[in-house]
Structure 1
């Protein structure tokens, strides 16, 4: 919350009246509705982006911000995620990635590293994880970045840039969850996880965004997409105008 609100303040907003917030289900989803004095939609599991798409289409003048977690956005909501990025609809998505389903007991999720023990993978996770930043960049988002809670200044700058960029923008924030994740992977103390984050490599912004399976030591930080492709609502308006229809 602090990282996001700093970005908003730096952009000159005294309040959140020009924003509408959407969240799904999970730990990160509770950041909005109890704490922000703003219009919010707390939606069903995995459907935050579907609700946000409808909201943006109906109220294009609002800045739509989705705040949710890796389980909500990348598992049950994974299809919505890639298609929202493909459409390049104008909204900012902030994903708090803690590598598991933290609120429901620490079950294995789509970003859990291979070999990690969780409540539903007691002998280790046999699956490969998603690299969310690369996935969303490849799907067509205009701006994609990844930072951690140990990099608040860089994360806030990335959110500020995402809010200014038209089109689909995605900022992944790697977040510590010592209770549901850390204690099962030999990092029971929050400080242990922060120290781990500090050691992650930072990629050069102009280096190729090649695919690689994420690992604990090699999950890189930085920007993964920074472009200006046509936005969905604008394209929709142009099509409606060409067909003789009304646009808002």
Structure 2
């Protein structure tokens, strides 16, 4: 299948602001699905509320556009009932780590087989530019006109500490790299997290003098370096890109099937 076979073309052009990075994330994801030659009837995408959540309307998969912060909860229900399906869960700052933070850490702890895509633009874009758990200190937002004093979560560290068995990071500037990481995440048997830094020129860029979309993307090139590279070793203040965690651990649905088998044997006695 070609990339265009995986999208709902009748819903284009999309509703994201000019320069938003989320369209690039969608592109990288579609190319990952295409290169893996996945049957779109075997894919389910669940999303919550926010700019990032609109992605579920543009893909021609089975999709659930659910409530704020609960995308992983809905995905868990789908996966437990139909473990053979491939679950993709795109989320923004709030869906993933504010109202959705509890679901995030427990999905990681359980190691349920799905791919969580954290589209990190460091702002609540859809509701007017409020600061988020990923904004960090010294950031201007509508709810922080004199800058924020809240520290941000490190998505990679949080996911790894909570038990995710595949954790990676990339940016929209590195779109081809994002595709490769998403492919590996989807193929991984367990809870996978891929953080993709995605610019919001409308709210974050304007308030924080980040320049236009092109300048914000160029910044991702300048502030990141591949994991294991000499550049990152010599400049530890840079953000690492690549795979941080990739390990095997019993997957939740498979373990749950064992419990069902034991229970059924007990019931038959």
TM-score, with length taken from structure 1 = 0.91
Residue pairs, 1:29-108, within 5 angstroms: 29-33=53-57, 35-108=58-131
Moved over 4 A (4+): none
Unaligned runs of 5+ in 2: 1-25, 230-235
Deviation per CA, 1:115-147: give whole Å up to 9, x if none: 111110111111100001110111111111010
The answer to whether the 8 A contact 1:200-1:221 is kept is no
The Cα shift of 1:153 comes to 1.0
Kindly indicate whether residue 176 of structure 2 is the aligned counterpart of residue 176 of structure 1.
Answer: no
Unaligned runs of 5+ in 1: 207-214
Query: Counterpart in 2 of 1:219?
Result: 239
Aligned-residue RMSD, C-alpha: 1.9
Distance 1:200 1:188 in 2: 15
Residue pairs, 1:1-248, within 5 angstroms: 1-13=26-38, 15-33=39-57, 35-204=58-227, 218-244=238-264
Q: What is the SS of the residue equivalent to 1:111?
A: coil
Q: What is the SS of the residue equivalent to 1:172?
A: strand
- How many residues align? The count is 236
The answer to whether the 8 A contact 1:108-1:121 is kept is yes
The Cα shift of 1:235 comes to 1.0
The Cα shift of 1:202 comes to 2.3
Rg larger in structure:
2
Distance 1:165 1:93 in 2: 12
Distance 2:250 2:239 in 1: 30
Instruction: Please identify which structure carries the higher helix content.
Output: 2
Distance 2:168 2:60 in 1: 27
Q: What is the SS of the residue equivalent to 1:93?
A: strand
TM-score, with length taken from structure 2 = 0.84
The Cα shift of 1:72 comes to 1.3
